[in-house]
Structure 1
Amino acid sequence: MKNYIKHHPWSIIEEGFVPEYNQISESIFSLGNGMFGQRANFEEQYSGESLQGNYVAGVYYPDKTRVGWWKNGYPEYFAKVLNAANWIGIHISFEDEALDLATCEVEHFRRELNMKEGWLKREFTAKMPSGKRVKVEATRICSMARTKVGALSYQVTPLNFSGVARIVPFVDFDVINADSNYDEKFWNEQHRKASHDFSYVVASTKKTDFWVATGMKFNISGGFSMESAQEFEREKYVEVAVTGRVEEGKPLTIEKYAANISSMYFAKTQLVEVCEKEVLEAAQVGFDKLLLEHKEAWAAKWQMSDIVIDGDVSAQQGIRFNIFQLNQTYTGEDERLNIGPKGFTGEKYGGSTYWDTEAYCLAFYLATSDKQVARNLVLYRYKHLQKAIENAQKLGFTNGAALYPMVTMNGEECHNEWEITFEEIHRNGAIAYAIYDYINYHGDEDYLIDYGLEVLIAISRFWAQRVHWSKQKGQYVMHGVTGPNEYENNVNNNWYTSKIALWTLQYTLEGLQKYKGTTQLNELFQKLNFKEAETEKWQHILDNMYLGYDEKRGVFLQQDGFLDKELMPVSDIPAGQRPINQNWSWDRILRSCFIKQADTLQGIYLFEDEFDLETIERNFDFYEPMTVHESSLSPCVHAILASKLGRKEKAYEMYLRTARLDLDDYNNDTEDGCHTTSMAGTWMAFAKGFAGMRVRSGELYFSPYLPDHWDGYSFKIKFRERNLTIKATKGHVTIMNESADDLGIYLFDKKYELAGNGKIDAPMN
């Protein structure tokens, strides 16, 4: 755990330059706008360790799978979000000496990400090897108002010299992915042009043939007397090198405007035209006006999604950082897009879609965005249903059974670790649950018959084929699976996987009963060649499924044989051996009792209303002490359950771990990119934990409490076309309805009628 980020309610601040932390900071200080994102790389040359990254939404490459032992059913590729053109670059030299912080003595360094207004600013004073001292102030945005545009202002002041400076703004498409399996470059140039008026490169991806045009324009003002300008091109690269004189103490300012335009949205023949239009309009508006527009767009984002915490700056900074990253990663405007585990902050995990979206991210977008945003997230999976059926067919399933991929960009499975690709099938349940979650929250009942049931039937067909009858047990069992705890592979009867499979079958049967006899359902049955006998099989599974349970301890068994392990708490692991995934052999991890993330507790969290408080408590007390929380998706679930159990200290510990996971680099892996999907878990930990928010049978419930050292908190949600503000202070709760329509609401299990534009005041229980 690192602690070099200064605590501040609205900003992420780094004071002092520590090269070994630079890649962590490149992740933390990343910017994005839903259409593209940029790691916090330096504009000027930097020869130290760096992960260069500009990522364009929806653009990917199917990198050929690299495994030591090929197995039937393996995907042939792993889809990767691509490092695209470096649009921020401005190389600067004085008397042919490059400005490079890796070779300079850095006298002062400060980096700030202002989350409220969405800009990144870097200030430094550096002494170059020759003794020349320079001061730099650089501000950057990925415009939220013009989502094709990025812009920056870079001011340089020579502090103790005058002389010749060379300034080289460029666009560089000759880039690599750090995670390339075979060190292959994924882009081919289509055309390019270097010009002082507008420079650009158009490149296309190999195989997938996405085209992207990245262009730039710049101007230089202030203390700079230009002597010459030279345009230069090479493959996938354009620059305009400007030479002139600088004067001691006189700042010069470089403003650079850029755009990333992809064939996802425009014809390939239009890319240059659109790119030039966007860049020239941005340059005409100017950096100050672009920044103002951008701030206004961010103000609108925060108006609905901000969470205010009084009395705890660390917790406040953490949750705003998570909300900021979520807002700049996904805007919900395009149903073809989804949320990668690293968002626009890095390449790890391929940038593809995982079950994280349904299990963790959906809750945030349900409550903070217009209904269409969450609808697009569930519709994304409906649009990929045929691919999910094909994925199942490759593994031997029939009759329209669907297995959604563990990792995907286009609906096709592209993950190649057998214990995950073939066994971590609980992801199917998360996708089914998301349909319920969306309908339950927004009341969009038509979605079930229009789209949801078709997906649910396909998933239920999978579960019905994936279980088998055990003569010995006289029950159905499910063998050879991996649950959410990936520190155990190829287990039998993982409780969570079996539980969510049963829930899916039950929910599907309820949906079929609801629309029984309707024209729409009859047409769906005809389309799917659905037979009544299928529902009889599903009901038989529901009535006869084995779910492991230990009578002595009163806990659900994570899987067969779990109690045969040497059971011990995480506190028994020597501190120097944590995290175990970076210190232990895989063999040792698999044989241990230690749990990567919520597994059995994941199911208890989802289906808590089925269990009494004592059952939840027994399972929590048994499994949580053995959980190492080495998945970013783990602490939020534990925070919610701890809150329900009244374990305030444990809830706060888990909340802080998820809220500051990247800011403090808990798991020593933030340099690869931020854990964007787990950031939604921070929102869940707050809203479902501290505020006790639930939606039961379409009705909204709250049971708020305050961590002991907090003075209060407030947040907003959208619920069924109403905007609500919830405020909690010591001993008091207020819920305000900022819409005209009345709403029934439960507070501490007491039903209230919340009038339009009215409020509820109640004592804190």
Structure 2
Amino acid sequence: MNQDYIIPNEWSIIEEGFDDSRVKSSESLFSIGNGAMGQRANFEEKYTGQTFQGSYIAGVYYPDKTRVGWWKNGYPEYFAKVLNAPNWIGINVFINSVELDLNTCKEIKNFRRELNMQEGWLARSFTATLPNDITIEVKTKRFLSIDIDEVGAIEYTVTPISSDATITYQPYLDSGIHNEDTNWDDQFWNTLNVVSENNQAFIEAHTMKTNFHTCTFMQSEFYINSEKQNIAPETNATETSVSFKYEALVKANQSFSIHKFGGYVVDTNHDKNQLVTAAKNTLKLATDLGFVALLAQQKEAWAAIWEMADITIDGDVKAQQGIRFNIMQLNHTYLGKDARLNIGPKGFTGEKYGGSTYWDTEAYCLPFYMATKNQEVAKSLLTYRYNQLDKAIENAEKNLGFKNGAALYPMVTMNGEECHNEWEITFEEIHRNGAIAFAIFNYHRYTNDYSYIPEMGLEVLIGIARFWHQRVNFSEDKQKYVMLGVTGPNEYENNVNNNWYTNYIAKWCINYALENIEIIQKEYTEDYERILAKTKFTAAELADWKKVADNMYFPYSEKHGVYLQQDGFLDKELITVANLDQTQRPINQKWSWDRILRSPYIKQADTLQGFYFFEDQFTQEELERHFDFYEPFTVHESSLSPCVHSIQAAKLGRMEQAYTFYLRTSRLDLDDYNKEVEEGLHITSMAGTWMSIVEGFGGMRVTNGMLSFTPQIPEQWDAYSFKINFRNQILKIKVSKNGTEFELEGNNELDLLVNNTKITVKPNSLVTV
């Protein structure tokens, strides 16, 4: 059974009733972020029950020495841990000297938590009876500012119900925190300085090894029934924490509120010797505005995000809630403001996986950011990879012995170095190189901006082509080039030979690099000469690449009429998922790794991932044959799997199946399909949810430079709509049972293909098909 406690609502994630067994799951689901930092939805007040405390700063990490395989030559020395940062949200609350703790209260009533997606805030309310029999009502609201992205704000209100009470607030900062995910229980943070003055407090700390310097800060204001109070604090400081104590006698049914402002400044943006000064400047900006005005700004900022990124669904509240949740969490994680950052698979919601950059960015996230932001944001994601090309070359040389500028991009990275700690993934799941090359192609195809390729992209493509050329070997037996010892996207097979997807994308990468070398030689002479001087490729080398691409081996079954996922796939006991004992699901939590590897079960789209990327190179009939062969063996235990299958089911006209896959990808976390949501959300797969609607149901493609649509609508929906930014023109598409409407914002008319028929949409006019 999937979890089912999130109340369906078009614009909010809502939980009603307090259940201590779901606290950790809710901490993930109600997480907030602003691209620069984020946090799990931990309670502000003390909670002694089961909890996973987590606040995170974008780009700040710790190289945790790997636990396995460091003795193997070429093994990554560390695993980059997403770091739990010093805690600024904490507010201890006492009623007549008894501490508020939902784990020890006599009674909790009317508990409600809401993540308002439209306006970008998190709220909680409840009535509690404490062990001293005093009953209070509590209301909280907090958000991380989009506009001033170093600051967050909390409004915390206590109203005594049963009698007058002395209420004590103790806001604090704490750098004595630890990671939930750690290999050796290392100390990740070193606290340098704890400072307090007036109502302000600051903790300067730096990360061990990586030496990121941060300053965590806070300042508070107080109100009784909206009237501002001046309360002198009592200060308490330790080596790693600082707190202020504020007390007031509050009459029954009066409200006593604290407005707490806090956050982080980091030496990636400020002089490390001036962090307290920078923090004071940030606090002044926030407190001059105050909580109410800062919240009003937040609502405006989110309105602007939704204006472009929203997808509306009429007639299906759960589907609507799912897509908006996905879009919100993507914007929590990455807003495209800082080209040094990337999109981690857990975002700011947990610590599992580590690293901030996977192939997920290029394969799944780039289309979302191209279409809902602008091409500069997408170009920043590609530039990020160019800036780490030297590290990719070093990675191939140091760990695989490759020469001549061959580049292997890392499976997991923070700074360009490989930091994934499983050999079969780190040095066998090499298909990620292909996703990076495909993203360059996809960016050019969508934006028509070729500039990235001569400026940066061709060097990346050359490094990747050199890698593939050196990674294959010639099989005398087959008289073809083969690729041995790899792991495809299906991580439930390791160290296999001739994974079809890997071989296919390698061939494609080489041909794409050769094609662009030819274009740049003819049309961008200066860039060509610069790249030639830098990379020193020769005509003989290019001929060797072409020989590999033209003679690549692809395993194929005549019996089944399909390309084989890898050489030995048909040697497995081919029992479909439908005939698998459901008590054994998910197999990654029930079976040994050895049993999984010998099974036919596919974690995520593998051969079908190739059919998704390169659909123009295969017929509809070939797609259908491969889909019907592989999907029955697919357990979809990767968050990246349902979206690809939803798109392909829609392409095959199987809308019921496409809809089922869509619900699974859009509500993967809300309904906790994989029974692991308490560890954090699946951020990168959320971009796949967006693709399920736009590319799946909407059928959006770019065909010969033109936008193309083959719109369909699930039976469960009355209508749906989305916007895309295509080449700096905003196109709105609304699909209903009666037809499809196209509306264009911009200055120039736009030609589209709709169901293979050309139409022209003029600016600010509506065309219905």
What TM-score comes out, normalization by structure 1 length?
0.98
Structure 1 residues 54 and 69, CA gap change in structure 2 (3 angstroms): closer
Q: Identify the residue that residue 450 of structure 2 maps to in structure 1.
A: 445
Deviations 1:555-609 (A, max 9, x none): 1100011011111211212222111111111111111100000000000000111
Indicate which of 463, 467, 470 corresponds to 1:465. Answer: 470
Identify which of 328, 339, 342 aligns with 2:343: 339
Q: Which moved more, 1:340-349 or 1:222-231?
A: 222-231
Deviations 1:410-453 (A, max 9, x none): 00000110100110000000001011111111111121111111
User: What do residues 10-67 of structure 1 show as CA deviations (whole Å, max 9, x unaligned)?
Assistant: 0000001111111111111011111111110000000111111111111111111111
Once the two structures are superposed, residues 513-570 of structure 1 have per-residue CA deviations (whole angstroms, 9 ceiling, x without a partner) of: 1122523212211111111111111111122110011111111100011011111211
Q: Which residue of 2 aligns with 1:4?
A: 5
Structure-1 residue corresponding to 2:760: 753
| 2:412–2:419 contact (8 Å) kept in structure 1 | yes
Paired residue for 1:654? 661
Partner of 1:489: 494
Please state how far the C-alpha of 1:68 moved relative to its aligned partner. Answer: 5.7
> Does the 8 A contact of 1:259 with 1:278 survive in 2?
no
Q: Which residue in the other structure is 2:37 paired with?
A: 36
1:102 aligns with 2:103: yes
Amino acid in the other structure paired with 2:656: E
| Aligned match of 1:683 | 690
Q: Which amino acid aligns with 1:173?
A: S
Identify the residue that residue 319 of structure 2 maps to in structure 1: 315
CA distance in 1, matches of 2:48, 2:341: 34
1:446 maps to amino acid: S
Residues in 2 aligned to 1:164 and 1:648: alpha-carbon distance in whole angstroms: 61
Aligned match for 1:420, one of 417, 421, 425: 425
Residues 161-310 of structure 1: pairs in structure 2 closer than 5 A: 161-222=163-224, 229-310=233-314
Q: Which amino acid aligns with 2:313?
A: I
Residue in 2 aligned with 1:368?
Answer: 372
Structure 2 SS opposite 1:168: strand
Unpaired runs of 5+ in structure 2? none
Separation in 1 of the partners of 2:234 and 2:621?
Answer: 75
Q: Quick one: distance in 1 between partners of 2:197 and 2:474? A: 71
* Residue 60 in structure 1 maps to residue 50 in structure 2: no
- How far off its partner does 1:717 sit? 0.3
Is 1:136 aligned to residue 144 of structure 2? no
1:542-557 alignment, distance < 5 Å: 542-557=549-564
- Contact kept, 8 Å, 1:118 with 1:141, in 2: the verdict is yes
Task: State the shift of 1:498 in Å.
Answer: 0.5
Deviation at 1:162, TM superposition (A): 2.5
Structure 1 residue 228, shift from structure 2 partner:
6.0
Shift of residue 98, structure 1, vs aligned partner: 1.0
Rounded Cα–Cα distance in structure 1 between residues aligned with 2:741 and 2:12: 28
Q: Who is 1:50 aligned against?
A: 51
Helix, strand or coil for the counterpart of 2:496? coil
More off after superposition, 51-60 vs 596-605? 51-60
What does residue 644 of structure 2 align with? Answer: 637
1:596 corresponds in structure 2 to 603
In 1, Cα distance between the equivalents of 2:530 and 2:311?
A: 46
The alignment partner of 1:296 has SS state of helix
Stretch deviating more after TM superposition (536-545 or 357-366): 536-545
The counterpart of 2:616, out of the listed 601, 609, 613, is 609
Is 1:580 aligned to residue 584 of structure 2?
A: no
Partners of 2:304 and 2:76 in 1: CA distance: 42
Q: What is the total number of aligned residue pairs between the two structures?
A: 762
Aligned equivalents of 2:235 and 2:147: distance in 1?
31
Q: Quick one: which of 704, 718, 742 aligns to 1:735?
A: 742
Cα deviation, 1:681-702, whole Å, max 9, x if unaligned, reads 0001111100000112322111
Of 432, 438, 442, 2:437 maps to 432
Q: Distance in 1 between matches of 2:198 and 2:27?
A: 30
Aligned amino acid, residue 401 of structure 2: G
What residue number does 2:356 align with?
352
CA distance in 2 between counterparts of 1:449 and 1:227 reads 62
1:342–1:351 contact (8 Å) kept in structure 2 = no
**CA apart distance, 1:196:** 3.5
One-letter amino acid matched to 2:85 = A
| One-letter amino acid of the structure 2 residue matched with residue 200 of structure 1 | F
Residue 149 of structure 1 is matched in structure 2 by 151
CA distance in 1 between counterparts of 2:474 and 2:739 reads 54
Q: In the superposition, relative to structure 1, how do residues 528 and 232 fare at CA in structure 2: closer, same or farther (>3 Å)?
A: same
Note the alpha carbon deviations across 1:380-420, whole angstroms, 9 max, x for none: 00000000000000121110000000000000000110100
TM-score, length of structure 2 as denominator length: 0.98
Q: Which runs of 5+ in 1 are unaligned?
A: none
- Contact in 2 for aligned 1:367/1:719 (Cα 8 Å): yes
1:18 aligns with 2:25: no
Instruction: Answer whether contact 2:7 2:13 (CA < 8 A) is retained.
Output: yes
Contact 1:215 1:259 in 2 (8 A): yes
Which has the higher mean CA deviation after the structures are superposed, 442-451 or 161-170? Answer: 161-170
Distance 2:32 2:755 in 1: 40
Matched with 1:475 is 480
Q: Is 2:393 the counterpart of 1:389?
A: yes
- 2:296 and 2:346 map into 1 onto residues whose CA distance is 28
Contact persistence 2:159–2:252 (CA under 8 A): yes
Q: Spell out, residue by residue over 1:132-163, the C-alpha distance to the aligned partner (whole angstroms, 9 max, x if none).
A: 21110000010112111100100001111323
Give, in whole Å, the separation in 2 of the partners of 1:119 and 1:277. Answer: 24
For residues 195 and 51 of structure 1, the distance between their equivalents in structure 2, rounded to whole angstroms, comes to 31
Q: Is the 8 A contact 1:31 1:40 kept in 2?
A: yes
What is the one-letter code of the residue matched to 2:191? E
Report the AA paired with residue 43 of structure 1.
E
The reply to whether residue 74 of structure 1 matches residue 75 of structure 2 is yes
One-letter amino acid of the counterpart of residue 9, structure 1? E
- Higher deviation after alignment, 240-249 or 131-140: 240-249
Aligned positions of 1:403-418 closer than 5 A: 403-418=408-423
What is the 5 A alignment of 1:497-516?
497-516=502-521
Q: Which residue of 2 aligns with 1:121?
A: 123
Q: Percent identity?
A: 56
**Could you tell me which residue of structure 2 aligns to residue 527 of structure 1?**
534
Contact 1:227 1:245 in 2 (8 A): no
8 A contact 1:226–1:243 mirrored in 2: no
Cα deviation for residue 226 of structure 1 reads 8.1
Distance 1:219 1:227, change over 3 A: closer
Residue 247 and residue 185 in structure 1: after superposition, are their counterparts in 2 closer, same or farther (change >3 A)? farther
Counterpart Cα distance in 2 of 1:229 and 1:272? 20
